[in-house]
Structure 1
Amino acid sequence: MRLTTGLHGYVVLRFSGGLEIRLHNLICAVILMMVAVVGGVALLTTGSTDSTFSDLVGLFDGDAVSGDVAFAIADVRLPRILMGFMAGWCVALTGAMLQSLAQNPLADPGQLGLSQGSLVVIMLVLVLFPGLPLIFTPLAGFAGGLAVAVLLMVLVGRHHSGGLGILLMGIAVETTLSSVTSILILYAPPEQSHAISSWLAGSLFHSDWSAVGSFATWFVISIPAILVIGRKLRSLDLGDHMALALGEAVHITKPAILIVAVLLTAAATAAVGPLVFLGVMAPHLAGFISPAKGRARLFLAAMTGGVLVVAADGLTRLGSDQVALPTGLAIMMIGAPIFIISLRLRTISQARTG
């Protein structure tokens, strides 16, 4: 392992097996991990139940801690933080995958209709079969997202799967499904309509250890997916023709990546509801902080998504206890201004260098 300068001019950490990691990507990844850990620890002591860092240390050391404080930290806050990070990770990772897959920087699960497909089927299950075990909810979401993915591939066609075509078709499908969602909310029983509306805004309020355990499987699956898909995307980022010239089986790779994206999207949507715009925002923010390709790009985008959701969860605790701010809205309040500033700074930088 040694430091050297790559052909692109960046300082890289080169391993004996040939693997190269850009030094600024590695530093950015470490900083994001530290922010996630420090922010998560800070949020463990933040909430309506008064607690201190000493209570947190005492709880994990086995010391005597008030029952209310122990319950708030171990059974309410910690599951929410873990669920928020994992859901944000998966949504942002999916957005980064789809942007490379569609060759369009605006592609994400929401824009392509995958989230809406999962939402519609999950809502139908909740309305028509309210007594169905919750274990079937992610399966229903996967079925809806997969149906939309297949529909997009059929409508666009395998020979015209470029960025603009699939994005426009995805927007059309998403708009149609949004109208179905509105109809279901309008005509559902009042109790179900209120619960669905809250869930549609994105929420971590119902996160518990059972939900975390169920979702952890998808989070673990996403890690090897980064290693495998990241390498494929380096070829796909060059365009279909160049990828074919490099020996990539595009007709197999693209559907496989799309299925992984649907799985992660459906799982996240079923767990916390749609996290609107996160799939677009997080990869661009990660790219602004530390430009990367392939696996590094996917990992940094996923980390950024997780950190944004954890930060948004902290914002929801600053308001009144009587008014619960949905996590999805909090993400927009935190991420959108940062996103706008980053785009503006990037535009200024490009104008100066141009």
Structure 2
Amino acid sequence: MTVTRALDGRLIMRFAGGLTIRLADVVALSGLSLVILLAAAASLTVGSTPVGMADAIGILWHGPDASDLSFAVWDVRLPRILMGILVGASVALTGAMLQSLAQNPLADPGLLGLSQGSMTALLVIFVFLPGLPQGWLPLAALAGGLAVGVLLVILVGRANAGGMAILLIGIAVETSLSSVTSILLLYTPPEVSLALADWMAGSLFRASWQSLATFTPWFALGVPAILFLGRALRSYDLGDQMAMALGETLSFSKPVILVTAVLLTSAAVSAVGPLAFLGVMAPHLANFISPASGRARLLLSAAVGALLVVCADILTRGLAGELPLPTGLAIVILGVPMFITTLRLRSARRMRGQ
């Protein structure tokens, strides 16, 4: 491995196999990983049961026992933290992939209807088959998301549709499914509607070691997308015509990207419900921290998404005694001001460059 300069003058790490990584991206990803670890450590101390940092470290070191502090750390907080990291990374990763595929900075699983397809399928299960085992929920969510993905592929065509066509048809499908969701909520018993509305706001309240074990295999299936789809997504950032000129097979890679996005989205929705706007925010925040493309952009977006969810969970549990706050709403409260600020700073940077 050697460190050299690229044509634009930036430092890169060049490996023997031809792989090159910008040094700035490595530094940014390392910094984000460190901040995630610090946020996770702080999250262990926040909640209705007071736990000091020294106590939390001691409990993790010695393992679980019968004490209340051990229960709070091992059985409540640690599963929530790990689930938040994995779910946040999944949603942000999906948003980054779909933005490159649609060539639109607003594309995310919710806007294209993938989240809504998974959510509608799960609502049908909750209303009509409430006794279905929990292990079937990811499969039901996957079926709903895949149905939307297949519909998008059929409606926009396998290769010749532009990003705007994918986005517009996705919005139409999402709006139609939202109507079905509203009907289900209106005509179910009040106690069921309240429970479903809480889940639809996005919440880590149900996170446990069992739900984490159910979600992790689906996450593991989607993660290789970072390695295999990075090159294709970098080509799509330049437009469909340029991607074809670079040798990208659109008829193969577009459906693969959509299926991967459905896989990650469905697993996340079945675990914690929809996390609105996270798929849009995280890639833009990552781009502000370190402008990147391909695999580096996917990794940075995943890290930012994980960090946002962990910080939102800290806010949720910190206010739990006074105000019940869903994780999805906390993400919006934390992320939107940061999102607006970064957009303003990027605009100011462009104006100074001109």
Q: Which residue of 1 aligns with 2:349?
A: 349
- How far apart are the structure 2 equivalents of 1:6 and 1:61? 45
Asked if 2 retains the 8 angstrom alpha-carbon contact of 1:48 and 1:321, the reply is yes
Equivalent residues of 2:231, 2:295 under 8 A apart: yes
Q: Which blocks of at least 5 consecutive residues in structure 1 are unaligned? A: none
CA distance in 2 between partners of 1:295 and 1:209 (Å): 30
Q: 1:63 Cα shift?
A: 7.9
Alpha-carbon displacement from aligned partner over 1:162-197 (angstroms, at most 9, x marks no partner): 121111111111111111111111111222111110
- The match for 1:162 is 162
Partner of 1:249: 249
Partner AA of 1:84 in structure 2: G
Aligned to 1:117: 117
Q: CA RMSD in A?
A: 1.5
Matched residue, 1:106: 106
Q: Distance in 2 between matches of 1:55 and 1:4?
A: 46
2:301 & 2:8 partners in 1: Cα distance? 21
1:267-346 matched pairs, under 5 angstroms: 267-321=267-321, 323-346=323-346
Q: Distance in 2 between matches of 1:61 and 1:93?
A: 32
Query: How far does the alpha carbon of each residue in 1:123-167 deviate from its partner, in whole angstroms, 9 at most, with x for none?
Result: 001100011111111111111111111112222223542121111
Number of the residue aligned with 1:134? 134
Cα deviation code 1:64-99 (max 9, x no counterpart): 977110000000000000001100000000000001
SS of residue in 1 equivalent to 2:173: helix
Using the TM superposition, name which of 225-234 and 150-159 deviates more: 150-159
Q: Which residue of 1 aligns with 2:87?
A: 87
Superposed CA deviations along residues 187-233 of structure 1, whole A, max 9, x for unmatched, are 11222111110000000001000011111112222332201111221
| Alpha-carbon distance change, 247 to 159 in structure 1, aligned in 2, over 3 angstroms | closer
**Is the partner of 1:317 in helix, strand or coil?**
helix
Deviation at 1:234, TM superposition (A): 1.7
Runs of 4 or more off by more than 6 Å in structure 1? 63-66
SS in 1 for 2:13: strand
Shift of 1:13: 1.2
Count, aligned residues: 354
Deviation, structure 1 residue 304: 0.4
Q: Which residue of 2 aligns with 1:235?
A: 235
Asked if 2 retains the 8 angstrom alpha-carbon contact of 1:85 and 1:306, the reply is yes
Unmatched 5+ stretches in structure 2 = none
Please show how residues 164-183 of structure 1 align to structure 2 within 5 Å.
164-183=164-183
Give the direction of change, closer, same or farther, for the CA distance of 1:45–1:66 in structure 2 (3 Å limit): farther
Contact 1:118 1:143 in 2 (8 A): yes
Partner of 2:69: 69
**Residue type at the aligned position of 2:329:** L
- Aligned 8 A contact 1:55 1:65 in 2: no
Note if contact 1:111-1:170 (Cα within 8 Å) is conserved in structure 2: yes
2:223 corresponds to: 223
Q: What's the offset of the Cα at 1:50?
A: 1.2
Between the aligned partners of 1:87 and 1:7, the Cα distance in structure 2 is: 37
State the percentage of identical aligned residues: 57
Q: What residue identity is the alignment partner of 2:254?
A: K
Deviations 1:326-346 (A, max 9, x none): 000000000000000000000
TM-score by length of 1: 0.97
TM-score by length of 2: 0.97
